[in-house]
Structure 1
Amino acid sequence: MTPRRLVVLLRQERVKAISRRYLVSNGFDGALTCIGLVIGAFLTGVSDGTTVVKIGLGAAVGLTTSGVWSVWEIERAEKLAELGRIEDAMLADLSGTAVEADKTAARAINATASGLGPLLSILVPLLPFLAVGSMFTMLTATVASVTLGTAILFSFGAYMGSISDQRWYVAGLRMGLAGVAVAAVNLLFGG
C-alpha cells in the first residue's frame, strides 16, 4: 500500500464514516471509563497521582486492545463478505488485487481509529494526575480529570452534531451530560 493510496482510502466517505463511528463510540467508552476510574480512585483513598495513572494505563491498554482487536475481526468478516459479493458479481477471483488490498487497508484504518478513541480519551484525562504534588492535590486532579473527560465527550458530540447538520452545541451537551451522569452516580454510590 503506497502512501498515496492510503490518502485516497482516507478520503473515501465509507472508510471515513466507519472509522469515525468506531473512534467516537470507543472514545466515549474510554472517557466514561476514565471518569469512573478517577472518581473511584479518589473515593477509595488513593493518595498519589502515579497510582491513578498506572491504573488508568491498565484501562487504556484493555480498551485500546479491545477496540483494535474486535474491529479488526468484525471488519475482516465484513470486508471478506463484501469481497465475496464483488467476486460473485464479477465472476472473478480478486485475491491479490488492488480491490483486496484496499479492503485490507480500510480494515486497518478502521481498527486504528477504534483503538485511538479509547486511548486518547483515557490518557488525556489522566494528565492532571502527573502533576499531583506540584500543581494539583488529589481532589483538584480528580476534578480536572473529570472536566477533561467531559470536555472530550462534549467534543465528540459537537463534532458528530456538526457533520449531521444538528446544532453542534446541543449534540455536545448531550454527550457531555453522560460524563456528568457517570461522575454523579459514582459520587452517589461511593465509587
Structure 2
Amino acid sequence: MNLPTESFRRVLGKDDVKSLMRRYFVANGFDGTLTAIGVIVSSYLSGVDNGQAVIAVGLGAAVGLGISGIWSVWEIERAETKIEQRRVEEAMLTSLGDTRITRDLRYEQMLLSLASATGPVLAILILLTPFLFVESTLTMFQAVVLSIILAVLLLGIVGAYMGVISRQRWYVSALRMGLAGLVVAIISIFLPG
C-alpha cells in the first residue's frame, strides 16, 4: 500500500518540485517582507502609537498574503496538473484515474501551495515581533527601526542563499535583495499621509 508519507517523500525528492517550492517561498516571502515594511513605516508615520495596532494591521496583511499564496498557487497548479495529466493520458491512450501519478500531482499541488503561503506569513510574523515589546522595552520608533533592520537582514540572507545556490557572488545577491527593503522604507516615508 502506498502511504501518503511515502508519496510526500517521493514528491519532495523531485528536483523540479524543490525548485518550484523554493521559488514560491522566496517570491512570496519577498512580497511579505516588502508589504510589512510598507505597513510598518506607514503606520508609524500615520500616528499609530501602539505596537498592538501595528501587529493587528500586519496580521491582516499576513492573512491576505497567506490566503492569496495558497489560493493562487492552488488554482495555477490545478490547471497545470490537469494539462500534465491530459498530456500523459493522451500519450498512454488511457485514463490515469486514481494512480500514483495523479496522487503525486495532487501532493505537488498541496506542497507548492503551502510553500507559497508560508513565505509571506513567516516574513511578516518575524517583522512584527519588535512590536510585541513596545511600551515594555522599546519605543514605537525603535520597533520600526528594528523591524526595518530585520527586514533588510532577512532579505539579505535570502539573497545570499539564492546567490550561493545559483553560484553567483552571494554578497552581491544579498545587497540587491536588502536594497529592496530600504527602497520600500524610503518611498513609504515620502508617501502622503
- TM-score tier after normalising by the smaller chain length: over 0.9
Question: What does residue 184 of structure 1 align with?
Answer: 186
Question: What does residue 34 of structure 2 align with?
Answer: 32
5+ long unaligned stretches in structure 2? none
C-alpha RMSD over aligned residues: 1.0
Contact 1:159–1:168 (CA<8 Å) still a contact in 2? yes
Question: What does residue 162 of structure 2 align with?
Answer: 160
Give CA-to-partner distance per residue, 1:105-154, whole Å, 9 cap, x none: 00000000000011011110000000001121000000011111121211
Find out whether 1:56 has 2:19 as its counterpart.
no
Contact 2:7–2:107 (CA<8 Å) still a contact in 1? no
SS in 1 for 2:84: helix
Alpha-carbon distance in structure 1 between the residues aligned to 2:122 and 2:154: 9
When the two structures are superposed, what TM-score results if normalisation uses the length of structure 1? 0.97
Alpha-carbon distance in structure 2 between the residues aligned to 1:169 and 1:23: 21
SS in 1 for 2:94: coil
Alpha-carbon distance in structure 1 between the residues aligned to 2:15 and 2:99: 21
Find 2:126's aligned residue among 124, 127, 150.
124
Find out whether 1:142 has 2:138 as its counterpart.
no
Alpha-carbon distance in structure 1 between the residues aligned to 2:58 and 2:87: 43
When the two structures are superposed, what TM-score results if normalisation uses the length of structure 2? 0.96
Contact 2:127–2:147 (CA<8 Å) still a contact in 1? yes
Give CA-to-partner distance per residue, 1:65-105, whole Å, 9 cap, x none: 00000000000000110111111111111010000000000
Question: What does residue 10 of structure 1 align with?
Answer: 12
Alpha-carbon distance in structure 1 between the residues aligned to 2:18 and 2:72: 18
5+ long unaligned stretches in structure 1? none
